[in-house]
């Protein structure tokens, strides 16, 4: 959601800023703009829609060495040129990620002082406030400091001031910002991919710190305006991770990486012995109650984990979406652990839920993919998923890695709570070891799922049904399909359909019925027969061969222990969604209206 790149250096900056913005495209945006210094003046170029539209307006050869660039995901006002960043008021030009909650009050105050506004954005108000405070303080740093104290909300800012055309200023609160340098200059950026063409070393700007960046140096001021030094972090992922290579879409590439992602995640915490689980998860022993909080797909892994932890480890789990949890009464006790699940580690609601738990002195565990992200840094404990950078907006491999961590946690807690026999533990370990091969096999079966996609892609609605764990799998299958193909797909508990929803079943309505849970499979099959009797087009997804034919298509998945089963169940559903979206000519990696990193509430 929104991306910032700033560069001050000894070399032409437009190509650098543009390639940085391209690297941040995956976050989601609907307009873009650049402000650059040329002939001692700040020049602004903006365009709505994709970066390619902006590219047509840019002079890549212009002799400018200082610029800030931005991709905007509309929050306040439509996606048009006026609302696109940068926003200039008086001497200040600003790019912004985040949301200013008190912008109406500030706008009213500044309007009374004579400021006029062209856009509907909260960002333009920041530019005006900076300009106003600069008139009072007569010092850029002090003006930024005063401004940060008046803003309520979240903000990562890149700032240019026409009285100081050698420097870029940066400020952040709640939204992330990194700083980096290489031989030809210095950067600010909202995310690591923006700098990877030049360096893999970066500094994390902390909340309420201000940075001043020019071609020679990066200077950081803490919240009291005292100069501070931060050490550099190193990003060790492959740079090629963020290229599409020969794949048509990032989503397809990322699904094809799932066996490796699974292996990397397992290998980080488990060497085949229970001792290794104890070393990595021993801290979990003392918690008797778990809250799992996350958004979207990450929330779905929490729904699966609830089912696993309750059924196999005998631990009481409460799972909730973060946007609800953060405003809800929570019934904590001293041995509650709150687990936050997030790919980006920057999701605003999940971060707020984490802070709520910490505020109540409850211990927190982050299961996070992005190293050094806000959620990873603020939680008491962190378990990293090893998915590597995920570029497609729709999560696939990071989701699978989250499930992998939850499977290991369930195995460990089930073991220490004496819920599994040693024979069952041995069988689970055997399954853990053979899973990469089974994941690959399922991916290689893509043609089966593609053939089914070819039959259903023109439908306006698709239903997913399942019971228990399979209902949780249905939730993710339905989300994957709707977010990239724009088909209205919804998940229901299979037994719940006849209480209303079954009235929507018409001739040939696709129903994707998931049944991997042997204990309850007969009940699910009865529900499938109910929709089949109403002429639904049934796609049966199961690890168990059916005794009779009540389906139109059958996706057979490999059978493993239920603690691991969902890792396999999701793969055909991801590939099915992919092909449906492809047939519908959708923008698979960047679905409309969506952002990869949801940094606003």
Q: How far is the CB of 346 from ligand F6R (least distance, A)?
A: 7
Catalytic residue among 12, 107, 532, 596: 596
For residues 34 and 370, which CB has a smaller minimum distance to ligand F6R in the complex? 370
For residues 27 and 48, which CB has a smaller minimum distance to ligand F6R in the complex? 27
For residues 147 and 597, which CB has a smaller minimum distance to ligand F6R in the complex? 597
Catalytic residue among 2, 13, 295, 586: 2
Instruction: Please tell me the distance from the alpha carbon of residue 601 to that of residue 594, in angstroms, as a whole number.
Output: 14
Q: How far is the CB of 174 from ligand F6R (least distance, A)?
A: 15
Distance in angstroms between the alpha carbons of the first and the last residue of the chain: 12
**Residues that bind ligand F6R in the complex, under the rule CB under 6 A:** 295-298, 342-344, 347, 350, 394-395, 479, 483, 598
Q: Is 295 a catalytic residue?
A: no
Q: How far is the CB of 262 from ligand F6R (least distance, A)?
A: 18
Q: Are 220 and 205 in contact (CB under 8 A)?
A: yes
Instruction: Please tell me the distance from the alpha carbon of residue 127 to that of residue 26, in angstroms, as a whole number.
Output: 27
Q: How far is the CB of 448 from ligand F6R (least distance, A)?
A: 23
CA nearest to 354, candidates 375, 327, 335 = 375
For residues 167 and 390, which CB has a smaller minimum distance to ligand F6R in the complex? 390
Question: CA 483 → CA 19, 79, 142, 462, distances in Å?
Answer: 27, 20, 45, 13
For residues 171 and 598, which CB has a smaller minimum distance to ligand F6R in the complex? 598
Instruction: Please tell me the distance from the alpha carbon of residue 552 to that of residue 74, in angstroms, as a whole number.
Output: 43
Q: How far is the CB of 395 from ligand F6R (least distance, A)?
A: 4
For residues 296 and 562, which CB has a smaller minimum distance to ligand F6R in the complex? 296
Q: Which long-range contacts (CB under 8 A, 24 or more apart) does 45-48 make?
A: 46/81, 46/84, 46/85, 46/86, 47/81, 47/84, 48/79, 48/80, 48/81, 48/84
Among all residues, whose Cβ is closest to ligand F6R? Answer: 296
Q: Are 327 and 374 in contact (CB under 8 A)?
A: no
The string of DSSP codes covering 285-338 is GG-SEEEEEE-HHHHHHHHHHHHHHHHHH--EEEEEEHHHHTTS-----TTEEE
Q: Are strands 66-72 and 87-89 parallel, antiparallel or unpaired?
A: unpaired
Question: CA 381 → CA 99, 367, 585, distances in Å?
Answer: 28, 9, 42
Q: How far is the CB of 351 from ligand F6R (least distance, A)?
A: 9
Q: How far is the CB of 574 from ligand F6R (least distance, A)?
A: 10
Q: Is 596 a catalytic residue?
A: yes
For residues 396 and 410, which CB has a smaller minimum distance to ligand F6R in the complex? 396
For residues 147 and 342, which CB has a smaller minimum distance to ligand F6R in the complex? 342
Question: CA 260 → CA 93, 257, 422, 439, 511, distances in Å?
Answer: 44, 6, 28, 9, 31
For residues 65 and 350, which CB has a smaller minimum distance to ligand F6R in the complex? 350
Alpha helix stretches (DSSP H) within 6-159: 14-24, 51-55, 103-112, 123-137, 140-150
Instruction: Please tell me the distance from the alpha carbon of residue 559 to that of residue 567, in angstroms, as a whole number.
Output: 11
Q: Are 374 and 351 in contact (CB under 8 A)?
A: yes
Q: How far is the CB of 350 from ligand F6R (least distance, A)?
A: 5
Instruction: Please tell me the distance from the alpha carbon of residue 213 to that of residue 220, in angstroms, as a whole number.
Output: 9
Q: How far is the CB of 397 from ligand F6R (least distance, A)?
A: 11
Q: Which run of H or E residues covers position 576?
A: helix 562-583
DSSP 21: H
User: Catalytic residue positions?
Assistant: 2, 596
């Amino acid at each position: 959601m929104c991306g910032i790149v700033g560069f001050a250096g000894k070399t032409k900056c437009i190509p650098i800023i543009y390639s940085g913005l391209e690297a941040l495209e995956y976050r989601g945006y609907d307009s873009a703009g650049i402000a650059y210094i040329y002939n001692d003046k700040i020049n602004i170029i903006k365009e709505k829609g994709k970066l390619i539209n902006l590219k047509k307006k840019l002079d890549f050869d212009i002799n400018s060495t200082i610029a800030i660039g931005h991709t905007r995901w509309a929050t306040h006002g439509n996606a048009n040129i006026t609302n696109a960043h940068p926003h200039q008021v008086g001497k200040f030009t600003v790019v912004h990620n985040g949301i200013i909650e008190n912008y109406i009050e500030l706008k009213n105050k500044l309007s009374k002082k004579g400021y006029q506004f062209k856009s509907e954005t909260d960002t333009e108000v920041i530019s005006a406030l900076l300009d106003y405070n600069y008139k009072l303080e007569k010092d850029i740093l002090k003006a930024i400091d005063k401004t940060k104290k008046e803003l309520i909300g979240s903000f990562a800012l890149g700032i240019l001031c026409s009285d100081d055309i050698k420097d870029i200023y940066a400020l952040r609160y709640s939204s992330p910002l990194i700083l980096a340098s290489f031989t030809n200059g210095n950067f600010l950026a909202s995310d690591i991919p923006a700098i990877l063409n030049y360096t893999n070393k970066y500094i994390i700007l902390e909340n309420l710190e201000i940075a001043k960046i020019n071609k020679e140096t990066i200077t950081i001021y803490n919240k009291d305006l005292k100069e501070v030094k931060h050490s550099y972090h190193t990003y060790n992922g492959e740079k090629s991770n963020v290229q599409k290579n020969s794949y048509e879409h990032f989503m397809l590439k990322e699904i094809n990486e799932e066996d490796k992602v699974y292996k990397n995640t397992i290998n980080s915490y488990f060497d085949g012995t229970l001792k290794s689980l104890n070393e990595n998860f021993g801290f979990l022993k003392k918690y008797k109650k778990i809250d799992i909080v996350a958004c979207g797909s990450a929330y779905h892994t929490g729904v699966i984990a609830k089912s696993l932890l309750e059924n196999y480890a005998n631990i009481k789990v409460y799972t909730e979406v973060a946007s609800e949890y953060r405003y809800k009464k929570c019934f904590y006790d001293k041995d509650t652990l709150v687990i936050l699940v997030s790919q980006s580690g920057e999701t605003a609601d999940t971060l707020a839920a984490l802070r709520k738990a910490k505020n109540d002195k409850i211990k927190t565990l982050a299961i996070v993919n992005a190293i050094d992200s806000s959620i990873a840094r603020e939680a008491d404990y962190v378990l990293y998923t090893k998915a590597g950078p995920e570029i497609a907006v729709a999560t696939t491999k990071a989701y699978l890695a989250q499930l992998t961590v939850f499977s290991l946690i369930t195995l460990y807690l089930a073991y220490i709570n004496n819920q599994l026999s040693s024979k069952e533990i041995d069988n689970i370990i055997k399954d853990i070891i053979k899973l990469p091969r089974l994941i690959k096999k399922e991916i290689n079966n893509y043609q089966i799922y593609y053939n089914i996609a070819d039959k259903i892609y023109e439908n306006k609605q698709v239903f997913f049904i399942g019971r228990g764990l399979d209902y949780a799998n249905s939730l993710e299958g339905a989300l994957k399909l709707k977010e990239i193909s724009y088909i209205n797909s919804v998940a229901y508990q299979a037994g719940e359909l006849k209480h209303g929803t079954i009235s929507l079943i018409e001739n040939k309505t696709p129903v994707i019925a998931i049944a991997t849970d042997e204990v309850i499979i007969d009940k699910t099959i009865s529900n499938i027969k109910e929709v089949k009797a109403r002429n639904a087009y049934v796609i049966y997804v199961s690890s168990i061969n059916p005794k009779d034919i009540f389906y139109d298509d059958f996706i057979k998945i490999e059978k493993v222990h239920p603690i691991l089963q969902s890792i396999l169940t999701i793969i055909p559903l991801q590939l099915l969604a992919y092909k449906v979206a492809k047939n519908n000519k959708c923008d698979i990696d960047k679905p409309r209206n969506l952002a990869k990193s949801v940094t606003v509430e």
